[in-house]
Every structure is written in structure tokens, then in C-alpha cells.
Structure 1
């Protein structure tokens, strides 16, 4: 009997340490190897590495990277023994998105479960999925217990080769900062704490791009960040610290439990930009009836005046702007609870509805900055449901909830509770001053957009965006906007408190380059009324939710051309991120066969004028577009 058990143990060890730890994507381009580096007592570290196949074979893009997770009562790192693994199983499902870069998405991967026990014989699984455009993995505790278990940390670390080029944002609760280029991994403040997503260019001679993020956050997860304090080329997944009003690190949960998905978009730049990996690994839709969820353009009052909606007459002006521009929504921002000058909030809502415009309203989450009111109407279930019922009754279609306080578990639960309760009253949601998207757009599609970006609102606050906007705008399509809708509040032609020096055509292009289920157009009404006919008509008709998205050309911080399809039309947006003239080249290989009419609206003689060009193109055609410094263009193609 002992001899048989020994043979079984040796067989399991052999399985866990040799060939079966290798996984490949359905198209064979991405390979994952999971290694168990066992000590003398068969307890040891678990690592993974990722290889990408190019013309010369597989290249290592993520070298050996530690795996592991820590509970308060148990350690699952450095003391693991492999007890088996599943066969590689295909994942293959199609699902529909209401908003986002693609309507029909395909969740296609190969999945394998690696099974371990720790020194106390407690089980833990690591589930890996390998996609054609990336890798995702998560931890599972499979035992059952009604007692609260505390998950306090991870040893998960992403190792990258030295001299890797990177675009990583210093961490803030609001995720509002730039993505500066670096090849050292060191930050200006020496804190070495970074927010998701994080973009890396591996191997500069034959580059492979990697974007790190995470997805499928639930009420039983907190959201993580990255730290590289010990080694600038090792980015550790790090849980948020306790807050003054929330004395908890990590997660408290019953068992069984699963972590968030750790997500790595991998491939060429187009693979990263076009990927739907974040929603692929997230839970399917939990809202039974969704016909009331409708993406759309929004007129927005705050940007031009650095104030909210206290003045009823100004709110009416923005409602009338939505009517003129054929935008379905108007956002009534903060200060609506003290509205004067001819009407109150109910009058403003009635005015909008009477003109065929659907009103949205702003709320303070009540968790961080408590000056703008109303402060706490969303904070508890009782207050939230009372407020949502009132909004439904008076004819409001969506809410913007602002000023969230961190990535701790209680905040994740708060986001999800808002989405669940809002859905009961058919209310759409915009999260502002918030965490980045983590897959909720699939599970709760009434979340239309999230800020979590250093957007045009910052023209109100500091002068820094004036000089950095162009390069920042040309970086966001490769970083923040990859993982979900982004409420940048784009397309402004006049100046707010601080000027912008991007061209008018550059600003127009942001309506296509940036994806957001609610696209808030932020300028003064007169700025849109004064536009020439062609760009004005373009803004009246440009969609905000897309059937397909293609990266035509681009490089972070330098330039980008995005092509997005809606129905039988393609919309193109291109921007120059440089302070010098640049020729952007459109290769029309993304088109189907046949001839297309194209209307191109590009930089004119100066940065405040446009030129309109009409011509025909077909699949394989190439068109060079001259852009001014910080310039750009849009185009509409139709067969």
C-alpha cells in the first residue's frame, strides 16, 4: 500500500513539474508555463512566465513571475505542493455589449486549473486562461466555511525585462494623472505605487506589448494596484491600505472564494487596443431586461463655468443645445439642489423632457469630499432607493455619482450596490472620481462610463494640461481607454479657466478616438453653434457605442488613428500628439471589398479652421493626412 501511494505521489509530482504545465492560446501565439519550484519536502514557490510567438519562434515577454496569496490564517506562497491539474479545456462563448468598442464579443480561450495545498494541507487553485490576445488568471479557495476569512495580500508579481519601455500612471484614488514614458520604472515621487492599467513595450527590436489590469471585481474583492519598490522591473499586486473610516486591509469573506482576474493583454498594439479581455473574463449580464439602457451624447454644463447647475436659465441653455445638436441627454450637475433664477430641479427636468431630452443628475457619493451637495442620498440602501424612486417618478434617466474614496472592499460593494439598485428603477450610471473599469460594463450594463482619467475637466484646475494634452490624448487609447468607457469630457473649442492649444480638428477627433457610453460634450453652447456646417453635422451624428473597433496606426504619445464601425458606416479619428507637423497615414485594409465614399474633415490653414475633402477609397488604399502640431482629423466612410 505504501509503495502504491509513493508511486501515485511521484506520478502527481511528475505531472505538476514537467510537460503538463504548458498552455497555449487557441491561435498558438501565446504560451504560458507554470512552474513549481519544489524544495526538499516538495513544498516550494510557484511561478509563471509568458512567451509570445513571432517570426523567429517564441520569445519570453514575462519572465518567471511569482504567484501566491496570503490569508490571515494561512499562507499560500512559498509553501505549496502541487496535487494535480485539470486538462486544458476550451472556453468559447459569444456575448453582446450595449456600449463599448464592440457589440458582439467572443470569449475564446484555453483554461486549465492548477491545484495546490499548503504546508497545512489547505487547498488553493490557480486558474489560468490563455487568449489569442492575452492571459488571465485568478486564485480560488474551494473549501467551505461560514466563518469570516481574511485575505490580506498577494505575492503575485509581474517581472519584466530590463530597459522595458513603460507608460504607467502614478497611483491616486481618482486615477487622474498622466501616463509618462519611462525606461527605468522609477517615479518622480519615489513612492513607486502605480495604478492600473499599466502598458509595457517588451523587446524594442521586435516589440511585444503587454497591458496589465484586472477584472471581475465583486463585493468579495478589493481592487489592487502595483508597486515596484524593491525592484523597478518587478511589479507586485498590492491591496489598498486601511482607511481612517474603514479599518480593513484586503478582503473579509466566507469560503469558497475567488479572487479578481489578473489580466494581461499581450500582442501587437492593435491586439491590445482592440481587445475585450476585461469583459471577456467578467460575469455575464445580471440585469434581465436591458432595452432601456441606451448610450448617447450628453450636453454638459460644468466645464465652461467651473460650476454646476445652480442657474436654471443656464441649464435650459444646455437642454436647448442638446436639442439643436440632436444629443439625447443633458447632465444637470452639482448645485441642482440650490437651483434658482426661474426654476428648481423639477422644473429643469420637466423642461428637458418636454423638449425630448432625457435628463441626467449628479450626486456626491458621500464618502470623500463632502462639500458639493447633495452629499449622502446614495450612501445607504434606504436613502438610495428612496432617491432613485423619486428620480424615476420625475423623469430622470441616469445619475452621475462622484468622489469615491479608495479601492477597498467596501467601495467595491458600494459601486455594485448602486448599479443593482439603479437597475431596479431603470436608471443608468456614470461613476466619477472613481476607480477604473473592472468589467462591470458586461455584468451591469447600466454603467455607461467611468471617469478615472486626467480629462478635459483639468483645464479648470491647473495649467499643466495646456502643454501636455496632445501627448496625453495620444497615450490614452493605448492605456486607460483599452479597459473600458472613459468619461474624458472631450471636444472643446473655446477655453475654460486655462487654454488648450490642440487644434479644432484634434478636438473634433476625440469624439471618435475616445470611447464612452455617455459621451459628455463639454463646451459652451455658442462654441458648437459657431462651428462650420460640416464639423457641426459630424457632431450631431457621431455614435458613442460601436459595432467594431480597429487600431489603424499609432504609437503611445505620438499619434493614433482609430476606426470605429456603426451599422454600414466607418468613423475615423486621428490625432497628432506632437508639437510639430506630422503626416498620419490611413491604410484602409480594415475595409471590406468595394468602393467607399469618404468625407474627411482635417486641419485647415490654422489650428482653428477646418478643411473638408471628399474622395473615394477601397480596401488597400492608402491616404496621407497632413496634421498641424497637436492637430487631427475625422472621417466618415460609407459604401
Structure 2
């Protein structure tokens, strides 16, 4: 009797659920069938309007496992919402996206934008249209919102209900949100923190539910009609909601003001094993193609950089000369003349410094304050309008400047996104390359405007000047960045230092040397003072003279966030390998050479010596499939060059 009663109650319960929620599900599958997205809509009490959700499945061996449970979608304008009041009008057929393109700098030269796209057309309860476009790639998922109707008057897009839901048993490496994106990515298995706001910056890394499946969340293809977003999990530690940049004192706007039609940025989720995440080009895949007709003037390269050694800019002409001479000795193509160059003294001015560099065959670049945030360092007022930029860039062409570093942007609001893009566009007209500092993280602009060579947005080596915290955290931090920040674009960490700045480093010399390969940046600013490089033994010194900064291919050989990294990068016929130990204890790093082609290779290995300030050098014969164990000191590392 009890069993029959329980069955009856269960049937009644199921009937109630079926009337309360009608779930219409549609699927999109990646070209290799490994990733599946299911889009559904929950309708209350038989009504045709409701909330749209998506979930992500990943194929592990022969079955799919759930990577992301049902997660809400939706977007809000100040005049009306498109959240829990959506009705599905139509669903497009699955369409292949297949586009090959080249990158001038980055982890990979030849890229393939290959995925499956579906467009879901909805209307809200006011019959206003909204498209949600999904693309499913072999290494991830991207989606965006589109308002397709035409309206010349401005609308204000103020928020999203987009939320990324994760199982509670998920490990995470996320950075507390700051406008400069200069913080650490500490490990957490709960998502809880003492940070009251619970706001997190992109990118955010998750290892899902004790499975070997990783998800890196970010966004791409920011335009002048977007602001940048962040994540917030204050309501539930396992639910990360997308929120727009907060207003600031001089810019009261929330979200985006735009005419219609309009589309949001691409929301991106890179999914798979750690190697899938590290090697992914999804951020540039979904970004707009190159807008520049001629790009032969864009040249990645190594840069001699003054600031780190002396904790100041380039006010002293003699120091500018000293670092130009360093670039000559190290065969680096560029020297950066940093802040305060407008008041340069002690034997010469900025024009003299530029002429000296050119006389030595070195290409000079100079620093600018964006004029939007911290205004104390000068020059701070030369780029704020198109008229000022035209005048300034014409002068740079006249005296022979090849690139600019623009610093201290005010945040992630729409006006800052437009300002960055305007700088890139105007600089390109004058064949000037750009480095953004104190700015938002990369969001695909390097494909659209390939004169963008690198972006800071990282807690980098310059922090040895500011606080003592990096001394003890650098090794684990350095071993986390290749899985987080550096995945989404070039990273101006300013690495490879052997002497000390204001606060010491305790990473080994071989660890520092390895950062030239482990970290990718189209301009690689080598930060140490001249004696730091001149006093190196011949092998590491020669390595730094020749190591490339742009790559044809990248492979993650081994690694785990915060513990270890072995990165292999190819330039032409040569492979460069960099490995670092993120631990405060001895560790053996294992190089598996499965990534090699056929034939025999000569490997020159430069690794930790007897102590953290010495090197050991070996030459070894290697072929595909070999395994080499490299003993690393605490916080140690190695580099290697492979050639046939």
C-alpha cells in the first residue's frame, strides 16, 4: 500500500513539474564533437515566455560529462529587460564558421577560426527582438547578445543576467577585480573570500568538479560600443554573474549607451585539458579581422627598459644612453625611453636621446600618460583628442619614434574602450606600434589592430619596486600566469632580472632566464640594469641575445597552476623550451618530446647550477618520444634550444 501511495505521489509531482516548467532544449556541437552546448528555456505555468539557460557538456572518453550546469542568460536595457520574459521565435540551422588568419605576434602565427554557429531569435513581452548567438569550438564556447532592430536614439544597456554556474567541487584561480588587473590568482576550492564585493576580473580559471576538465572564462571583441565586464559571486560562491564596469567620478555612465542595431562583446569559455587552454586562440578567433591594409612595419622585438632598475623614468639623458648601449650589446632592436622624457636633462633632451639610439641602429620608443587617471607623471596631455594625437604622432614620425607605451587608463568603462581603440587606429595611420599599461586585459584587439604589441594588466616585475610581497610569491605567481592571464594575449610582465630592485627576488637565475620563453609578449621588455646582463656567463647571455618574442607555434609540455610550467615554442625550425618550478622545494621537471617531428635534434640545456645564482649547461641528442628529467632548485628553472 505504501509503495502504491509513493508511486501516486511521485506521478502527481512529475505532473506538477511538467506544467510548471516546459523546457525546450536545442543543441550545438563542436566540429570534433567533444563540446556540446544545450540551450533551453524554462516556461512557468504553460506560458510561452520565460528565462533562457545554457549548459555545457564535455566528452570524456565515450560519454559526456557536465562541465557547467544550467546557467542563466539575459540582458537589460534601461527601457526594458530581456531576461525572464523571452519567447523563442526561431532557431537557425547549424552553420560552420571556418576562417584562417595570421597573427603578427602571439603564441601562434597561423590560426584557424573553426566552429559551429547557431542563432536563437527571441522576443520579449513587448515584442522587442533579441538574438543570442552561440559558437561552439573544439576548444571552447563563445556567445553574444544582439539587438537587431534599428533605433537612432540612444539606449542604455545597463546589465546582464548572464551567470556561470559551477559545481561546488570546483577548484578556481581567480583574481580580485582591480581596474589595472594587477593582482594574484590565488587557489581556492570554495569561491569564498574576505573581499566583501566578491568581484573578480577576467580571465578566471576553473577546474571542474574533480574532473581533468578546465574552463577559462574571459571576453573578446570589445568595440567602441561596449564596456568591459567583470564577475561577481556575492549571492552564491559557485555562481559567477557578469556585471558591467562601475561608473567613476568623471564618467557617471553605467554600462553602454548606443544606437541600434548593437551587439555585445563575445563571452568566451576556453574548455578542455590544460594544454587546450594554454594553446587556445579563441580570444582572437572571435575578434574582428585585421583592419590594417599594410603591416610590414609592425615588428615584434626585445626591448631594453630603464624603469625597473632605478624606480624612475628617463629624466636623465645619460641613463637613456646607457640603456641604448645595452640594447646594442644584447642585439635587441628597441629601447624604451620612459616617463619624464619631456623634462630630460644631464647632457641632452628627448631629441638627442632619439638621435643617439638611431645612430646606434636601435629603434626608440617612448612613454605617455593617457591623461585619464594618475596625472602626476608627465607627459600627460598629448593623446586625449584626435587633434592632439595627430599632432603628436606626426612629430614622432619626424624624429623617428617606432612605438609608444600608454599608461594609467581610468578603468573599463565605455569611454576608456573607445579611447584605447582610437589610439590604436590613429597610431596605425602613422605606423606606430602600441603598448598599453595600466589598462584592461587583452580582449582580441591584437587581431583587429595588430599594431597592439602587448598589454600590461598583470602583477609584474615592476612590483619589486613597490612592495615586498612579490619576493615570496613570485615563483608560484609566475607558474600560474601561463594558465591565466597570458592565455588571452601578450603580457608585458617585464621579466628576466638577475640583480635586485628595491625588493629582492628569490627565484633562481635559471628561473628568471626561463621567463623569456614561458611568458609571451610582442614587445618583451627585459627589465634588469645593464650590469645584470653584461655579467652573465656566455651561454645564458647568448641565449638572451637570440630568443624570439613572437612564435609560430606553442605547446604546453607539462604544468599545473602554481606548481610548474614547461612551455615549448617554435620559431622557424627551432624549438625553445622554458621550464619553471613554482614550489619552494626541489622538483624534477619532465620534458616529453612527443611534440617533435621526425629526425634527430641537438638540445642545448641551460639549467640551475649548484646554487640559485649559477647555471649548468648540457648538450644532449634528442628525438621524438624521448623523455628528459631536469632537476630544478626551489623556485628554479631551465631553458633549452632544439635544432636538427
Using the size of structure 2 for normalisation, the TM-score is 0.96
Q: Is the 8 A contact 1:170 1:187 kept in 2?
A: no
Equivalence for 1:484: 489
The residue aligned with 2:161 is 155
2:131 corresponds in structure 1 to: 125
Match of residue 447 from structure 1: 452
Asked whether the equivalents of residues 25 and 41 of structure 2 are also in contact (C-alpha less than 8 Å), the reply is: no
Quote the Cα distance in structure 1 between the aligned partners of 2:549 and 2:24.
47
Q: Deviation at 1:187?
A: 2.2
Counterpart among 39, 47, 50 of residue 44 in structure 1: 50
- 2:624 pairs with 1:624: no
> Does the aligned pair in 1 maintain the 2:134–2:142 contact within 8 Å?
yes
Could you say which residue in structure 1 is the equivalent of 2:503? 498
- 1:430 maps to what in 2? 435
Q: Report the secondary structure of 2:201's partner residue.
A: strand
TM-superposition CA deviations, 1:230-288 (whole Å, max 9, x none): 00000000001111111100000010000000000000000000000000000000111
Query: Who is 1:605 aligned against?
Result: 610
Q: For 1:485 and 1:295, how far apart are their aligned partners in 2? A: 11
**Is 1:527 matched with 2:559?**
no
Question: Is 1:142 aligned to 2:152, yes or no?
Answer: no
Check conservation: 1:603, 1:610, Cα contact below 8 A.
yes
In 1: Cα distance, 2:166 partner to 2:319 partner: 52
8 Å Cα contact 2:580-2:636 kept in structure 1: yes
Distance 1:56 1:190, change over 3 A: farther
After TM superposition, list the pairs within 5 Å mapping 1:98-247 onto structure 2.
98-204=104-210, 206-247=211-252
Where structure 1 has 5 or more consecutive residues not aligned to the other structure, the ranges are 1-15
C-alpha distance in structure 2 between counterparts of 1:108 and 1:34, whole Å: 20
What corresponds to 1:265 in structure 2? 270
Match of 1:582 among 560, 584, 587: 587
Task: Give the Cα separation in 1 of the matches to 2:246 and 2:563.
Answer: 36
Deviation at 1:349, TM superposition (A): 0.3
Answering whether residue 357 of structure 2 is matched by residue 352 of structure 1, we say yes
Matched, 1:471 2:479: no
**Does the Cα contact within 8 Å between 2:24 and 2:42 map onto a contact in 1?**
no
Q: Where does the alignment leave 5 or more consecutive residues of structure 2 unmatched?
A: 1-20
Aligned 1:348-387 pairs, distance under 5 A: 348-387=353-392
CA contact (8 A) 1:504 1:603 kept: yes
- What is the DSSP-based 3-state SS (H/G/I as helix, E as strand, rest coil) of the residue aligned with 1:382? helix
1:93 — aligned with what?
A: 99
Matched, 1:550 2:542: no
Q: CA deviation at 1:56?
A: 4.8
- Mark the CA change 1:177 to 1:615 in structure 2 (over 3 Å): closer, same or farther: same
- Report the CA distance between 1:139 and its aligned residue: 0.3
User: What is aligned with 2:85?
Assistant: 79
* Correspondence for 2:18: none
C-alpha distance in 2 between matches for 1:519 and 1:527: 17
Please state how far the C-alpha of 1:41 moved relative to its aligned partner: 2.1
User: How big is the shift at 1:18?
Assistant: 7.2
Partner of 1:403: 408
| 1:448–1:485 Cα contact (<8 Å) kept | yes
**C-alpha distance in 2 between matches for 1:131 and 1:428:** 31
**How far apart, CA to CA, are the structure 1 residues paired with 2:294 and 2:36?**
39
Residue 153 of structure 1, CA deviation = 0.4
Asked whether the equivalents of residues 25 and 40 of structure 2 are also in contact (C-alpha less than 8 Å), the reply is no
**Secondary structure of the residue that 1:21 maps to in structure 2?**
strand
Query: 2-side partners of 1:555 and 1:566: how far apart?
Result: 25
* Cα separation, 2, equivalents of 1:545 and 1:226: 31
**Corresponding residue number in structure 2 for 1:55:** 61
Contact 2:223 2:417 in 1 (8 A): yes
- CA distances 1:500-556 after superposition (whole Å, capped 9, x unpaired): 000000000000000000000000101100000000000000000000000000000
CA distance in 2, matches of 1:419, 1:148: 26
> Residue 23 and residue 30 in structure 1: after superposition, are their counterparts in 2 closer, same or farther (change >3 A)?
same
* CA distance, structure 2, for counterparts of residue 187 and residue 562 of structure 1: 31
- The answer on whether the counterparts of 2:87 and 2:123 sit within 8 Å (CA) in structure 1 is yes
Q: Distance in 1 between matches of 2:621 and 2:342?
A: 53
Cα distance change on mapping 1:570 and 1:236 into 2, 3 Å: same
- For residues 192 and 418 of structure 2, what CA distance do their matches in structure 1 show? 33
Query: Alpha-carbon deviation of 1:593?
Result: 1.0
Aligned length: 623
**Correspondence for 1:5:** none
Q: Which residue of the other structure, out of 561, 564, 572, is the alignment partner of 2:566?
A: 561
The CA deviation at 1:19 is 7.7
> Do residues 299 (structure 1) and 304 (structure 2) align?
yes
Equivalent residues of 2:290, 2:448 under 8 A apart:
yes
The corresponding residue for 1:11 is none
Does the CA contact (< 8 Å) of 2:23 and 2:43 recur in 1? no
1:149, distance to aligned residue in structure 2 (A): 1.0
**Residue 616 of structure 1, CA deviation:** 0.7
Indicate the SS of the match to 2:308.
helix
Root-mean-square deviation (CA), in Å? 1.0
Counterpart CA distance in 1 for 2:572 and 2:25 is 45
Matched, 1:67 2:73: yes
Q: Distance in 2 between matches of 1:19 and 1:78?
A: 15
Partner SS state of residue 470, structure 1: helix
Q: What's the counterpart of residue 637 of structure 1?
A: 642
1:9 maps to none
Aligned residue for 2:461?
456
Query: SS of the counterpart of 2:250?
Result: coil
Q: How many angstroms apart in 2 are the aligned matches of 1:26 and 1:231? A: 34
1:20 shift after superposition: 6.6
Q: Do 1:211 and 1:272's aligned partners in 2 also have CA atoms closer than 8 Å? A: yes
Aligned to 1:285: 290
Aligned equivalents of 2:395, 2:22: Cα separation in 1? 60
